[in-house]
Amino acid sequence: MASILVTGCAGFIGSHLAERLLQDGHRVVGLDNFDPFYDRTLKQTNLGQCLTHPRFSFHEVDLRNGLDALVDALPADPIEVVVHLAAKAGVGPSVREPVAYLENNVLGTTHLLEWMRLRDIKKLFFASSSSVYGNTKELPFREEQNLLAACISPYAASKLAGEQLTYTYHHLYKMDVLNARFFTVYGPRQRPDLAIHKFVRLLRAAQPIPVFGDGTTARDYTFVLDTVDGIARGVQYLLDNQGVYETINLGNNRPVTLIELITAVGEAVGHSPQLAFQPMQAGDVDITYADITKAQQLLGYAPKTSLTDGLRQFVEWMDGQDPLA
């Protein structure tokens, strides 16, 4: 089994991934900076199961602080694969704070890549985003599409820049890289600022749900454990192969409109939603729709969780966190 560094390990996807990699028999070294975007205690709770595991170690590190921070935290840990999930996430906030997104997602990624180069670590799984496709009219989204003028938010631009950086390090230093574009991941531990989390809280408080636009915007919602399965398969693919540089979509291949989502969340909660229509938000795209053929062929990736089942699991998790949620 391998020794794997997971950046952003205390977050929504990262904590689930750390648990999965430990279950698969790997050793996991976790990094997180506990960004104050949401409550630190939530992230510490996410790590609960990992912290007691004998093959897990954790370091609080901010990648923006440069090589010295990584060298000090990880002076000699034997790392075979890096899974880089750490990032400042969210389209809307990136429009309001573009510099913070570039510092975290571009500069932080560059520091990590330089550390990998100096340590001669040759395997990288990089978490990108469906946001890089912007409002392209080519559906479903395919990895080979030209995205030079696609990004319509600083977050999307920072993620596409990350992909360009990974190619640079692959080209210059023969680093094996798998870039994965995630599509609207949801499920237990989801960040409290995300739509499904907000919708459940509003429904239970008998408050109207804001609908940005006319409700026909659509997202390719992917359950977190399906995404994590794709990452775990990607890690194994990197371990098993040399000379790799690939970009894949990790989505569900089934766009759901905003109105359909709100209806499904209402059914999961057992409340009928009230809708409050509002203008579209800056930076939002009309639709995300993943062609997952390449991930299926390379990794055997096959998302299994229906929206109904995924929402049920999410609501059960929220009930366990706070019975009044």
| Listed residue (79, 61, 48, 68) closest to 7, CA to CA | 61
Q: Give the span between the Cα atoms of 40 and 29, in whole angstroms.
A: 19
- CB-based burial of residue 75 (10 Å sphere; 0-12 exposed, 13-18 middle, 19+ buried)? exposed
Asked if 95 and 154 touch (Cβ cutoff 8 Å), the reply is yes
Greatest CA separation found in the chain?
Answer: 56
Active site residues: 155
Displacement of CA 176 from its chain's centroid (Å): 20
DSSP per-residue letters across 47-113: THHHHT-TTEEEEE--GGG-HHHHHHH-SS---SEEEE------HHHHHH-HHHHHIIIIIHHHHHH
Q: Token pair for residue 73? A: 């935290």
- CB-based burial of residue 230 (10 Å sphere; 0-12 exposed, 13-18 middle, 19+ buried)? buried
Asked if 261 and 184 touch (Cβ cutoff 8 Å), the reply is no
**Ranges of H-type helices in 97-223:** 98-102, 108-119, 154-173, 195-204
| Listed residue (24, 4, 10) closest to 229, CA to CA | 24
Under DSSP, is residue 274 helix (H, G, I), strand (E, B) or coil? coil
Angle at which helix 224-240 crosses helix 12-23, to 10 degrees, equals: 50
For residue 140, is the peptide bond before it cis, meaning its omega torsion is within 30 degrees of 0? yes
